[in-house]
Every structure is written in structure tokens, then in C-alpha cells.
């Protein structure tokens, strides 16, 4: 049974990587596949925690949404600042943000 869920998780991860590589125009759309890859990692933690009868994976799985929320908040702040300064959030103009 864990092999089936692990395969599903690998499919989600591969789709996330493809989503990042295929869409390089808008940063906001590039951040959505990252969230799906975090979902795949979370699914792996839960499946292997249940199959190994260990609570450590479930405790890590409870921390993954915290990391995802922090990543989303920081990313959204960067998007807002970039849009205010440059007027666009296109990837081509991101190299102008060097501090």
C-alpha cells in the first residue's frame, strides 16, 4: 500500500518540477508548483510514518504547512515590493533587484 502512495507522491513532485521549468514568466505562477512539491513531501512523511509505525513523520508533517505559510508570506511580500518598484512581477526584470 505505501508503494502506491509513494508513486502518487512522485507524480506530484515531477509535475511540480515541470511546472517550474515550463512557466518562467510569472513569479506568482512559479510559486504554485513549489506548494505542490511541499504537498508531495508531506504525503511521503505521512505514508512512511504510518507504514513504519513511527510518530516522527507525522510530527514533521505538521510542520510542513508552517513552512509553506511562511514561504507564501515572504514570497507575497517580495512580489508586492517588486510590483511597487518595477510595476511588474515578470521574471525578466527580477535581476534588477540586487541590493
pLDDT of residue 99: 54
* Candidate CATH numbers 1.10.10.10, 1.10.287.3510, 1.10.510.10, 3.40.50.360; the one for domain 1-86: 1.10.287.3510
Locate the domains of the chain by residue range.
1-86
Q: What is the pLDDT of residue 96?
A: 61
Question: How many Å apart are CA 25 and CA 41, to the nearest integer?
Answer: 26
pLDDT at 94: 64
Mean pLDDT confidence for 86-91:
74
At residue 41, the pLDDT reads 86
State pLDDT tens for residues 2-30: 677 778 888 888 888 888 888 777 777 77
Q: What is the pLDDT of residue 1?
A: 59
Burial class (CB within 10 angstroms; exposed 0-12, middle 13-18, buried 19+) of 41: middle
pLDDT in tens, 21-79: 887 777 777 778 888 888 888 888 888 888 888 888 888 888 888 888 888 888 888 88
Give the pLDDT of residue 95.
64
Amino acid at each position: 500500500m505505501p508503494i502506491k502512495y509513494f508513486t502518487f507522491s512522485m507524480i506530484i513532485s515531477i509535475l511540480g518540477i515541470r511546472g517550474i521549468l515550463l512557466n518562467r514568466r510569472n513569479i506568482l505562477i512559479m510559486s504554485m508548483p513549489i506548494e505542490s512539491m511541499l504537498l508531495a513531501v508531506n504525503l511521503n512523511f505521512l505514508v512512511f510514518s504510518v507504514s513504519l509505525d513511527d510518530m516522527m513523520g507525522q510530527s514533521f508533517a505538521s510542520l510542513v504547512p508552517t513552512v509553506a505559510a511562511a514561504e507564501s508570506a515572504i514570497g507575497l511580500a517580495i512580489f508586492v515590493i517588486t510590483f511597487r518598484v518595477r510595476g511588474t512581477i515578470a521574471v525578466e526584470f527580477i535581476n534588477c533587484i540586487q541590493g
